[in-house]
Structure 1
Amino acid sequence: MAINLEKGQRISLEKSNGAKLLNICVGVNWGAIEKKGFFSSSKVAVDLDASCAVYDENKKLLDTVSFRQLKSNDQAIKHSGDDLTGDINGDDGLDNEVITVDFSRLNPSATYVAFFINSFRGQDFKDIPFASIRIYEGTPTRVTEVFAKYDIANDSAFAGSVTMVLGVFYKKNGEWKFNAIGAPTPDKKIETTVVTIQQSYL
């Protein structure tokens, strides 16, 4: 049964049968903005960018994965590729961008893996009709078991923001857990978001 994540909620990566979840997908799904005129309406494409950053126990940045770099240096993290439009014709139930993580292959120094979203064209989150994140076991094209869901649309806290920190996977006593953050940041670029996470969310 998938957990509907709340801000500040921490969960362990343990499946319903008690096994540890070592291969996860973080998928983001979002819609296009509808512009209404006097006699008709039109859809405006939305380019959200899902990214992640890896840090060591001293919060030093080790690696980033985004539309610019689709694989981590250790090959443990992979990005499905840049989606420039979102769901133009309404929610198709599929993720627009997916980042996969194989925790067993991660750099041994990795202690934090943070996920965040930037609105590439500066489109305000409050104008996007739907946007959600889900953490699941499987592949970008096959969902085996949804582990957690997180709805990030229609939240007044995101009004005026174009960047948000989704959450952080962190290693504690050799086990990986997840901290749901769901916080908007004033950043406009991936590079500055990486620093904000380093300073405030690890």
Structure 2
Amino acid sequence: MGVTLTKGQQISLEKTGGPGLSVVRMGLGWQAAPRKGFLAKLRAREIDLDASAVLFAEGKAVDVVFFQHLVSDDGSVRHTGDNLVGGAGQGGDDESILVDLSRVPVHVEQIVFTVNSFTGQTFAEVENAFCRLIDENTGQELARYTLSGGGAYTAQIMAKVHRSGGTWHMSAMGEPANGRTFQDLMPTIASHL
């Protein structure tokens, strides 16, 4: 069982005893909140959340992985594909981004994970949304950040993986924002580098 992260909390991704952590997966899961009243009888609402990973070197974005660019230019970060409607809320990942830490170029110091509501709904209209980090080699969940309390925003700067002294660390940011794409979040992301 991993660590449930709260806003601003940081954990080290360095493993003690045994082989080091080499490949991590950021998983994103969600479902639409049920409609109430008259609208409940209409068809289910579709909510398209998008996971993105922005790679930074010296405080500048040097690459991004998202639904229109599924693999980083160097091949170290890979998006598994776009999910347009979310899941059934069963806890599985609806979108995933794999990061091969051993292949991330040495000049890349940070990778910031974001979530956007591409269809424009606020997180008040989303249920069971989470971001988690998994050791891809063992399947062990290392950390989980839950989108709690809904809110009148359409995006979240979820977490970042960053190097410090040759070791990878993860910080949960949980910073609410507004925007339909990662590009809309760049000013907010910059304040967390």
Length-normalised TM-score, structure 1: 0.88
2:170 paired with 1:178: yes
C-alpha distance in 2 between matches for 1:92 and 1:65: 26
8 Å CA contact retained: 2:49, 2:117: yes
Alignment-mate amino acid for residue 130 of structure 1:
N
Identity %: 33
Give 2:65's aligned amino acid: V
> For 1:9 and 1:21, how far apart are their aligned partners in 2?
20
The answer on whether the counterparts of 2:67 and 2:79 sit within 8 Å (CA) in structure 1 is: yes
Residues 1:167 and 2:159 are matched in the alignment: yes
| Contact 2:119 2:180 (C-alpha < 8 Å) held by counterparts | no
1:78 match? 78
Superimposed CA distance per residue, residues 17-40 of structure 1 (whole angstroms, 9 cap, x where no aligned partner): 464312100000100232233495
What amino acid sits opposite 1:75 in the alignment? G
How far off is 1:126 after superposition?
1.2
Report the more deviating stretch, 10-19 or 67-76. 10-19
Q: Relative to structure 1, is the Cα distance of residues 104 and 39 closer, same or farther in structure 2, using a 3 angstrom cutoff?
A: closer
How far, CA to CA, are the matches of 1:77 and 1:24 in structure 2? 10
Answer whether contact 1:24 1:138 (CA < 8 A) is retained: yes
Q: Deviation of residue 92 (structure 1)?
A: 2.5
Structure 1's unaligned 5+ residue stretches are none
Matches of 1:128 and 1:99 in 2, distance apart? 20
RMSD across aligned positions (CA): 1.8
5 Å matches for 1:33-112?
33-38=33-38, 40-41=40-41, 42-56=43-57, 58-87=58-87, 90-112=88-110
The partner residue of 2:146 within 141, 146, 151 is: 151
Letter in 2 for 1:186: N
Letter in 2 for 1:7: K
Structure 1's 39 and 21: CA in aligned 2 closer, same or farther, altered over 3 A?
closer
Q: Distance in 1 between matches of 2:39 and 2:113?
A: 40
> Cα offset for 1:103?
0.9
Match of 2:51, as an amino acid? A
Confirm or deny: 8 A CA contact 1:33 1:43 kept in the other structure. Answer: no
Specify the alignment match of 1:122 in structure 2.
120
Structure 2's unaligned 5+ residue stretches are none
The structural deviation recorded for 1:15 is 3.3
Contact 2:34 2:40 in 1 (8 A): no
Question: Are the counterparts in 1 of residues 178 and 184 from structure 2 also a CA contact under 8 Å?
Answer: no
Aligned to 2:181, which of 170, 174, 189? 189
Task: Identify if the C-alpha distance between structure 1 residues 20 and 161 changes in structure 2 by more than 3 Å, giving closer, same or farther.
Answer: same
> Partners of 1:195 and 1:176 in 2: how far apart?
24
Moved more, 120-129 or 187-196: 187-196
Among 110, 113, 118, the alignment partner of 2:111 is 113
